[in-house]
Structure 1
């Protein structure tokens, strides 16, 4: 059980470090990292969950993985990634408060660009409501949204990876 926790935490911290590095790369290249990292999570989280489970199964658990072990390890990985990156974003946003206003401006521009389509499909009231919600976005909204998305992605991927990598010890048959 100790190896399960240790391996999962290591993969979670490495995944967090990679997301933080990409955050900084986007930030220093002039892009808004809050906007750009949303798609990056779809690649990082599954990779680290899968390889974390695989390493535990193959190196530390005798090529066996039960479903509960996979779910436990995967949960530790994605929760670590989610909470460490959320904490980093919170601290970083305290130093650069313009990130949120830039993020909101980008989202408002996207809404304005698709205004006619939204009004046609869902009505003017829906567009106005969406516009006001986006306009009122705060730092805690962005951080919480990022955390919840990481948790949802992680849970779904962990469920699948736990089933795919699951192996049980075969019963001993008498001859």
Structure 2
């Protein structure tokens, strides 16, 4: 592979995916269920930010003579996000299938969390929506958790990638 954009994205994406999987497993065993973390406080913001930043900076500074177009940043960062999210989602699927407590602890913790909602919040979101979500929890399986994790990862990575692609872009001076 002679394309440094693709080569760097694959390399950084693989490492980010393995790191994200390790963090998921570590969080679970430290007592913080990874599926219970708010997307706004998700560790993937930092992981994607670090790996996209260093990948695009390396591409710009060492392979392209200080030039990086926005579209190159979006493609490179997008590949990193996609690869890392696929790898960590597969890792989550394998871990969740192997660790029997993973789904059951999620269901218990989410049920306990939903039962702490004040009546005002329940009225705001709608009693029927609240009840439907609460009654659907026992049917949750690892596949549903992985699908949610994957979708959140793509969304988080997309926004992080836009910001870093704008920050790191440099066009040739005319």
Following TM superposition, the consecutive aligned residue runs of length 4 or more in structure 1 with deviations greater than 6 angstroms are none
Q: Within 5 A, what are the aligned runs for 1:7-86?
A: 7-36=8-37, 39-86=42-89
Whether 2:135 is the aligned partner of 1:132: answer yes
Gap runs ≥5 in structure 1: none
Larger Rg: 1
Deviates more, 1:49-58 or 1:125-134: 125-134
Answer whether contact 1:26 1:36 (CA < 8 A) is retained: no
State the number of aligned residues. Answer: 171
RMSD: 1.9
Displacement of 1:126: 2.4
Deviates more, 1:112-121 or 1:101-110: 112-121
Deviates more, 1:142-151 or 1:128-137: 128-137
Q: TM-score, normalised by structure 2?
A: 0.88
Gap runs ≥5 in structure 2: none
Q: Within 5 A, what are the aligned runs for 1:137-156?
A: 137-156=140-159
Aligned to 2:125: 122
Cα 1:35/1:68, change in 2 over 3 Å: same
Displacement of 1:119: 2.6
